[in-house]
Structure 1
Amino acid sequence: MVYGNIVMMLIDFEHKTIRKNLQLNMNLFELQRAQIMQLNALDEIRKLSLQHTEVVLNKRIRWHDKYIKERKFKSGDWALLYDSRYKDTMGKLQTHWLGPYEIVEVFQNGAVQLATIDPIKFKLLVNGHGLGLYHKPVTKEDFLQQFYIQPPPTVPAASVEGLPIPKS
């Protein structure tokens, strides 16, 4: 910079500005018209890039949504809670699930209120995406009743005494 001279920015040399073109004695009307055409072309490029961004975003949303499993929980079910502290560790014998917990209430926004299955109930509110359905352990009698299988008849001990003993 020199005192008394007009300051010329580096952008003036890189892009032809009105001031630079006036110094070169070019037609002002043509310069303004050329700049308006460049601005219009820039707007067109911007619109095309926005449309392309929207198309890519919709593709990404569809790709992501096809891998989401819809989980239906209802109160009274048991669930396991995913512990995200261990998501980066690779351990064969290390569990990543906490619980089981009993589902108390399911909210419309996907949140789920859980309670411990201990005698002293401790309630907590979690995101439903971090839950997995836990199937309650079934006793043998409940399993047989579920499939309508009759248990085998028991033979009284007195009738067994009269049977001949097989010889080997």
Structure 2
Amino acid sequence: MTLSAAQEERILQLNALDEIRKSTLQQTESVQNHGMRWHDLYIRDKSFKPGDWALLYDSKYKDNLGKLQTRWLGPYEIVETFSNGAVRLSTIDPNKFKFLVNDHWLCLYHKALRKDDFLRPFSTA
């Protein structure tokens, strides 16, 4: 049995189409791997410990960003951390109101230095 020229051309086109599909899949996988490596390179792990201070993201300003509007509330004291990413916060006022939030809504707050603490390394005494 011999194939006509049109049938042979059609088989060649189908084989070429399959090769194009395979190369496209390889290129897509390569681009996704590159994106994952970039993401893993620049992501920072947040680790909170009891006694640290944190700022809480206020999502009500997510859509309406004013020029001088702050999006962070706090600072709050971290009382307890859980393995599932939940963090128990406490207000720093005398009432000590406690509540739970997800750690994705937090960023670490560094306490402000007093003037004496700042100048101590520079003193010659």
> How does the TM-score come out when normalised to structure 1?
0.53
Are 2:84 and 1:125 equivalent residues in the alignment?
A: no
Contact 1:113 1:124 in 2 (8 A): yes
State how many pairs are aligned: 118
In structure 2, the CA distance between the partners of 1:106 and 1:76, relative to structure 1 (3 Å rule), is: farther
In structure 2, the CA distance between the partners of 1:90 and 1:120, relative to structure 1 (3 Å rule), is: closer
The Cα of 1:105 is off from its aligned counterpart by 0.4
Contact 1:75 1:106 in 2 (8 A): no
Amino acid at match of 1:75: P
Helix, strand or coil at the partner of 2:35: helix
| Distance in 2 separating the partners of 1:121 and 1:91 | 29
Which structure 2 segments of 5+ residues have no match? none
Alignment-derived partner of residue 29 in structure 1: 3
Q: For 1:94, which of 69, 72, 79 is the aligned residue?
A: 69
| Distance in 1 separating the partners of 2:110 and 2:103 | 20
Higher strand residue share: 2
The RMSD of aligned alpha carbons is: 3.4
Write the deviation string for residues 15-58 of structure 1: whole angstroms up to 9, x where unpaired: xxxxxxxxxxxxx8334443333222111101100111112122
Identity of aligned residues (%): 51
Alignment-derived partner of residue 89 in structure 2: 115
Which structure 1 segments of 5+ residues have no match? 1-27, 149-168
Indicate the structure whose relative CO is greater, using CA pairs within 8 Å and at least 6 residues apart. Answer: 2
> How does the TM-score come out when normalised to structure 2?
0.67
Helix, strand or coil at the partner of 2:42: coil
- Which structure would you say has the larger Rg? 1
Helix, strand or coil at the partner of 1:125: strand
Helix, strand or coil at the partner of 1:34: helix
| Distance in 1 separating the partners of 2:11 and 2:49 | 62
Alignment-derived partner of residue 38 in structure 2: 63
| Distance in 2 separating the partners of 1:63 and 1:49 | 21
Contact 1:78 1:136 in 2 (8 A): yes
